[in-house]
Structure 1
Amino acid sequence: MPPPRPTPVRAVLLLLLLVTPWAAAASAETVKLGFNYPRTGPYFAEGLDQLRAAQLALDEVNAAGGILGRRVELAIRDTRGDARVARANAVELVEKEGAVMLFGGSSSSVAVAMGEVAEEKGVPFFGTLTYSNATTGGDGHRHTFRECNNAWMAAKVLSKHLNARFDGKKYFYITADYTWGWSTEESLRRFTGTADTAVHQGVRTPFPVSTAEDFKRALRAAQAAKPDVLVLVLFGQDMVNAINIASGWGLKQRMQLVVPNLTLAMAEGAGPENMAGVVGTVPWSWEIAWQFRFEGGIQFVEAFARRYGRYPSTAGASAYTIVHEYKAAVERAGTFGGSAVVRALEGHRYTRLKDAQEWRAFDHQSLQTVYVVRGNPPDVVRADKYRLRYFDVLDQMTGQEAAQTRGEWEAERRAAKKPPTLEKLADEGTGVR
């Protein structure tokens, strides 16, 4: 006698029993990286470059078999350049999306907020563009890693160049009023001998929302002070707005304009005429990859240009490097577990888009060469295929020479009322998480 035909309900249950294991297996095949970046706000251009490069890196990773055999996806949120939004996003990325790591951001206040969440949740966080010393200093955590240089390193190499040309001259600082601005100004004042604010004056501009009037007010103060060097401690669209006004007022003819941390997107936003002769630093640029024949960097530039019809910036290079470095760390660890990945990163040396870098063990700062650059003349910029040859390299300094020593880092930790070492991991006996 043939078995009874299943009822509709029994048929559905049977189908679920057959399909569910396959669905679970498919779900297990995917791993998510939490990408929290500024799609909007004053740093949106840097955010777009990060997104493009991160997607390029993900496609390369997946084409090579994923990470530990699992396909990788981005779980994406918009920080809007706001630390409170970034924190809420980071929690959601881990708790709701199941992200196994966090990266992104172009603001140090955002990076600090994300680092706090990463420490609470036990997942690695990689700061993509965050130059405040605090990110891996006073506000550093065991789960936080910074791929770019910090303000101290930029100031060290930049002051080497400036001191040879403007020793004893008068400076004026216009500074974004948040953690990156403060530590960048403090670091540059330290190494240029311009700490006396009565002589070397400065003003601060609001962050994250500044208006043209804010920059005009600051620039009027600079005009009145008549400095030899005007330092714009501004980033993203804020820098673009300020330098366009300064150039329009003819300040470039009367003083040297300095932007401590530059990106290609910032230079492009300001334009060739306004950027010509402006001095700053970068940890990487497409020109540097070609000038020093860094093969990994050249390959990245070419792949990025084929896909997007333009060159990548520092922001993109950092995001691209982070995705590949995370993959490498997971594969060294043999697991996605946060503690094991952290240990696999600490002290690891890598060469990817430039010369050798190292995730320094005691503070998780990426030790790397930092470059002083100057804006090229407009005709040089325009002669380039994409009209993006903005930077001429003037000087450089290795990461070992530029970075804080262990003692200097510990002094910063003490000043922030933090212990002289990063937190132990949960499986090292702290019982914290």
Structure 2
Amino acid sequence: MKTVKRVLLSYILALSLCTAVFAQNAVNIGFNYPKTGPYSLEGIAQLNGAKMAMEEINAAGGISGKKIELIIRDSESKPEVSAKNVEELIDKQNCQMIFGGSSSAVAIAGGKVAKSRGRIYFGTLTYSNETTCEEGHKYMFRECYNAWMGAKVLSDYLRAHHSGAKFFYIVADYTWGWTTEESIRTFSLTLDRKRHKKTLTPFPGATDEDFKAALSKAADAKPDVIVLVLFGKDMSRALTLATEMGMKKNISFVVPNLTLSMATAAGPKVMEGVVGALPWCWNVPYDYDFKKGKEFVEKYAAAYNCYPTTSSASAYTILYEYKSAVERAKSFETKAVIAALEGHEFTLLKDRQQWRKFDHQCIQTVYAVKCRPESEVIKDKFKQNYFEITSKMSGEEAAMDYERWIEERKKAGKPDELEW
């Protein structure tokens, strides 16, 4: 009996030592993403991209010799859930960095908690201008573009094809929806709210009845263009309902921020002719011959039997950029990593990108796209060849400049530099 106890104690001690050694050779990184809720399709794509990057980095030796342990939580696209997740990921799991999310409200809430604990939060899919403007701080970095950049690249198309047209806006009632609407109005010259009306839909929790009511209001206004400031499943469902109601026969539809997940959920018939913007899609590396981007697309497609989305590419890029910053800083210490990120230029899945120092926005080329005819989409092996790139714009031209950024910060009562 004593022998058995000794063997058992020896086993427990050995297991504890192995666990301790593993912990010393690993770095915990928190992934706060929408496994459930209206943006869950973007969440799945993010998770796939994050896992690909983690596996590649770990196979190559990790970050400064430490293997990545991805600690995953479901944000449900709810700000209060996001905040609780980040608290736990830092306080209980000792995560050195948090990333993920497909809602600006989620990113802003999570970022505030990370700031209070001195950790970096990378926004993966957060398009509200506020994320790196009014609500920006030293600990928040955004890899994707923002509403301003998307609206700017769309402006040429809208002015060329819809100059003088009557617009109607259907807007998700939260920070991303508000700032996207304002940005599109600014660049499409539709600031006259009496002529170019709008209606709001709840977020989260909008139902088919909410979308039908909004679409009926739009139809009654007899617009030439409807701007659907909706995202994820909400956009896919609203556009499907609009198609069923026969609204696409006489009205053009604009979706300011498009993703492949949204297009796939709606289907090629519903998406045909819809115009939008995005910072990356799987076609970009092939249209512009970006070798690493093509390798990423092909590896992802082989693993998941579909193409990567903007969400996938963003999550993948963030992990590689965090690794690069830690290794340049020669430290996991947060302020040292922030200093290594600020102003840093890199090239990964597309052309040059830069973490702009004054606001932590990732400056990058952005694209206007139009959804292809159904007959073309279904010829593709995954039936996902949705986007025809109609134009592109450099990040420097598309992004809000320093003077406008300062102006917006002052309106919100914020200082003219990011706060620690």
State whether structure 2 residue 188 is matched by structure 1 residue 186. no
* CA-CA distance at 1:8 after TM superposition: 8.4
> Residue in 2 aligned with 1:370?
366
Amino acid at match of 2:417: T
Q: Where does 1:382-401 land on structure 2 (aligned, <5 Å)?
A: 382-401=378-397
Instruction: State the distance in 1 between where 2:253 and 2:11 align.
Output: 69
**Structure 2 CA distance for aligned equivalents of residues 240 and 352 of structure 1:** 30
| TM-score, length-scaled by structure 1 | 0.94
**Distance apart, 1:24 and its partner CA:** 2.1
Which 4+ runs in 1 deviate beyond 4 A? 6-22
Q: How does 1:135-284 map to 2 (within 5 A)?
A: 135-284=131-280
1:51 is aligned to 2:47: yes
Shift of 1:15: 7.2
Residue aligning to 1:64: 60
Looking at structure 1, the residues matched to 123 and 345 of structure 2 have their Cα atoms a distance apart, in angstroms, of: 18
Q: Aligned partners of 1:33 and 1:24: how far apart in 2?
A: 17
Say yes or no: does 1:343 pair with 2:343. Answer: no
SS in 2 for 1:39: coil
Of 28, 34, 38, 2:30 maps to: 34
**Paired position in structure 2 for 1:428:** none
Equivalent residue, structure 2, for 1:413: 409
Question: Alignment identity in percent?
Answer: 52
Cα separation, 1, equivalents of 2:262 and 2:99: 21
Matched residues in 2 for 1:245 and 1:387: separation? 22
Task: Give the Cα–Cα distance (whole angstroms) in 2 for the partners of residues 48 and 223 of structure 1.
Answer: 34
Q: By how many angstroms is 1:166 displaced?
A: 1.2
Q: Give the length in aligned residue pairs.
A: 419
Partner of 1:116: 112
- Indicate whether 1:289 and 2:285 are aligned: yes
Superimposed CA distance per residue, residues 129-164 of structure 1 (whole angstroms, 9 cap, x where no aligned partner):
000000000000101000000001111111121011
SS in structure 2 of the partner of residue 383 of structure 1: coil
Partner SS state of residue 69, structure 2? strand
SS in structure 1 of the partner of residue 378 of structure 2: helix
**Is the alpha carbon distance of 1:11 and 1:284 closer, same or farther for their aligned partners in structure 2, counting shifts above 3 Å?**
closer
Number of the residue aligned with 1:83: 79
2:315 to 310, 315, 319: 319
TM-score scaled by length of structure 2: 0.97
Report deviation, 1:94: 0.7
Distance of 2:97 and 2:151 partners within structure 1:
30
User: What is the Cα deviation at residue 18 of structure 1?
Assistant: 6.6
Larger radius of gyration: 1
Decide which moves more: 178-187 or 13-22.
Answer: 13-22
- Unmatched 5+ residue regions in structure 2? none
Q: Residue 412 of structure 1: CA displacement? A: 1.0
Distance in 2, Cα, partners of 1:76 & 1:362 = 30
Q: Give the root-mean-square deviation of aligned CA atoms.
A: 1.5
**Cα distance 1:23–1:46, how it changes in 2: closer, same or farther (>3 A)?**
closer
SS of the residue 1:246 aligns to: helix
Please tell me the residue identity of whatever aligns with 2:305.
G
Shift of residue 23 of structure 1?
3.7
Residue 73 of structure 1: CA displacement?
A: 1.4
SS of 1:221's partner is: helix
Per-residue Cα deviation, 1:83-127 (whole angstroms, up to 9, x for no partner): 000000011011111111000000000010011011111111110
